[in-house]
Structure 1
Amino acid sequence: MSEVPAPGFVRVRLDLSYDGSEFHGWAKQAGGQRTVQGEIEDALRTVTRSGETYELTVAGRTDAGVHARGQVAHVDLPEQLWAEHQEKLLKRLAGRLPRDVRVWALSEAPEGFNARFAALWRRYVYRVSDRPGGVDPLLRNHVLWHDWELDVDVMDAAAKSLVGEHDFAAYAKKREGASTVREILDFGVRRTEAGVVEIEVRADAFCHNQVRSMVGALLFVGDGHRGVEWPRRVLDARVRDSAVHVVRPHGLTLEEVAYPAPELLAERQTQARRVRGQVH
């Protein structure tokens, strides 16, 4: 993965969103499963009439079933191709892409931009309904039903105990050679006017399955199966606890990715590459 575009290429930023229900995650996979990356790369190849696939780099590689409202990616395109197609590319993509993925903006990225490594933080929201009757049918692909009443105040207190830089090995699916140290900047739980419980977390980056595992722990606290101190106790143990369940993916949405000012992009990218080898 290049830090800068190759000579003769221009780096293009894509801002996009998708409903993850029918996707096998972001990243292309062997076997031909439908992925967000695959759909966008295919559409780009088609609308630019190019015989080559230009590979996307994404801020957060979401798992199968996870949604994104504020996803960011970049692609390096030949300067001539970008100059020829940039004015009509957005509209042409809208006509070619399936309805469950949209590209909202295409722009030439500033020097030092890398969608993955230059990101300052990612913000996710997991949505849960504890209504006795279940989930609103219109929200069923985006909200998890939990069949116990949830105490949002206790959940929020438990979430706050995980804020800061820690080793999240107890909440992560370990990957060979990858650090499990992450810094959670904000973590909180609220109930909307519509009664949906929103669990919001913002961090510099996340380990694989980290958010869904932490949500699983908070649900156990919220419904009274565990005490408010339990999620932090699990964290400090640094080993997976069989009682921590990885909740289903459909309640999770990547809401926003933030980047530093243009003059700080290169510095941030270098820092992130040095700190860890796997960023989600």
Structure 2
Amino acid sequence: MDGRTRLRLDVSYDGTDFSGWAVQPDRRTVAGVLGEALDLLLGAGTATGLTVAGRTDAGVHATGQVCHVDLPGDVWQERKSTLLRRLARLLPVDVRVRAVTEVPAEFDARFSATFRRYEYRVTDAPYGAEPLHRHLTLAWPRPLDLDALNAAAAGLVGEHDFAAYCRRKENATTLREVTRLDWRREPDGLLVATVQADAFCQAMVRSLVGAMLVAGDGRRPVEWPASLLSHRERSSHVTVAPAHGLTLVAVGYPDDPAGYARRAEVTRRLRVPAEA
């Protein structure tokens, strides 16, 4: 990457009016909007290689998304003191770049990541979701039991083949390691699931939530979500939870920058890129 500087961008967005992260013809996407802003600010094609940690689906939000781009070194030196504020003026109100950081060329937002962490918000209040939170919260029509939700979640933690919960892609593995999966009830009654894994296959998080919710409201036993791990194809019994309750809240990377390249090599060897 001779003469170019790699930049890490920390990004937040309200996914309500986006057709997901990835650029799509004639659709409004986060990558499309961000790329247009960079082109307007720096000149068409100046920023190259836009790469994201996790390509979120349509309607999914983010407070902790990470991506990287490459700029000519002289352009970065000229613009680094003003780039963040200029992006804030150009970008629409539903997407923000919160930080721009110079990183080693070996940093890869997608392959260097050690984990992705999501939260899913649900209310079982009889009146539904609060109006100000309706774009971030799923209104569930039945009472949910926190202990049952956590019992269902416990059986899904660890390394498993999550084929029952994934939209399979050709030549892509559905083996994943879920390192955290638990529920909490906030003081206002809101239920929040935290899901963390090395990576997720497409629709996996929302499928896990959909399976746990029917255990949490008593329509399925708490052992049912884990029992599906024996399936080698997507289960038709699992309902994918709606996108608007899901938020990508954090992406982890090695503490030592010397580990970026090593982590990327391991990730590429284990699997092809996938979506959450």
| TM-score of the aligned structures, taking structure 2 as reference length | 0.97
| SS of corresponding position for 2:80 | helix
| SS of corresponding position for 1:82 | helix
Provide the residue aligned with 2:220 in structure 1: 226
Displacement of 1:50 in angstroms is 3.8
Displacement of 1:82 in angstroms is 1.3
Amino acid aligned to 2:12: S
Gaps of 5+ in 2: none
Counterpart-to-counterpart distance in 2, 1:201 and 1:247: 14
Displacement of 1:53 in angstroms is 5.7
Displacement of 1:46 in angstroms is 0.7
Displacement of 1:263 in angstroms is 1.6
| SS of corresponding position for 1:87 | coil
Counterpart-to-counterpart distance in 2, 1:160 and 1:17: 29
Amino acid aligned to 1:75: V
Displacement of 1:41 in angstroms is 0.7
Q: Is the 8 A contact 2:10 2:65 kept in 1?
A: yes
The 5-angstrom pairing of residues 182-261 of structure 1 reads 182-260=176-254, 261=256
* Structure 1 residues 198 and 51: CA distance shift in structure 2, 3 A: closer
* Structure 1 residues 230 and 45: CA distance shift in structure 2, 3 A: same
Which residue of 106, 109, 130 maps to 2:100? Answer: 106
Write the deviation string for residues 244-276 of structure 1: whole angstroms up to 9, x where unpaired.
Answer: 101110000000001002121111011001100
Amino acid aligned to 2:235: D
Gaps of 5+ in 1: 1-5
| SS of corresponding position for 2:78 | helix
What is the CA RMSD across the aligned residues, in angstroms? Answer: 1.1
Amino acid aligned to 1:45: D
Displacement of 1:111 in angstroms is 4.1
Aligned length: 274
Instruction: State yes or no: 1:278 paired with 2:273.
Output: yes
Write the deviation string for residues 65-88 of structure 1: whole angstroms up to 9, x where unpaired.
Answer: 000000100001111221221111
Counterpart-to-counterpart distance in 1, 2:144 and 2:91: 39
Which residue of 97, 117, 124 maps to 2:91? Answer: 97
Q: Is the 8 A contact 1:13 1:75 kept in 2?
A: yes
Counterpart-to-counterpart distance in 2, 1:151 and 1:241: 24
Structure 1 ranges of 4+ moved more than 3 A? 49-53
Q: Is the 8 A contact 2:152 2:222 kept in 1?
A: yes
Provide the residue aligned with 2:116 in structure 1: 122
Counterpart-to-counterpart distance in 1, 2:75 and 2:105: 19
Counterpart-to-counterpart distance in 1, 2:189 and 2:267: 38
Q: Is the 8 A contact 2:5 2:105 kept in 1?
A: no
Q: Is the 8 A contact 1:14 1:104 kept in 2?
A: yes
